[in-house]
Structure 1
Amino acid sequence: MSDKIKIQVTKRTDFGKGASRQARRDGFIPAVVYGHGAEPVHLLMPAQETSLAVRNPNALLTVVSDGEEHMVLPKDIQRNPLKQTVDHLDLIEVRRGEKVIVDVTVHVEGEAAHGAAFNLEEATVPVEAEATHLPEFVTINIEGREVGDHVYGKDVQLPAGTTLQLEDDYVIATVSEPIVQDLGEEPEAEEGAEAETAEAEAPEGDAEKSED
Structure 2
Amino acid sequence: MTGFRLGYVPGVTPAKWVRIWTERLPRVPLELVQVSAAEAPDLVRRGEVDSVLLRLPIDRTGLHAIPLYVEQTVVVVPKDHLVTAAEEVTVDDLAEELMLHPQDDVLDWDRPPGRLIDERPVRTGDAIELVAMGTGLLVVPQSLARLHHRKDLTYRPLTGVPESQVALSWPEDETSELVEHFIGIVRGRTANSTRGPATPKRQKKPAAQAPKQPARPKKPRRRR
> The TM-score by the shorter chain falls in which range?
under 0.3
Return the structure number with greater strand share: 1
Pick 1 or 2: higher relative contact order, CA cutoff 8 A, min separation 6.
2
If the length of structure 1 is used for normalisation, what is the TM-score?
A: 0.24
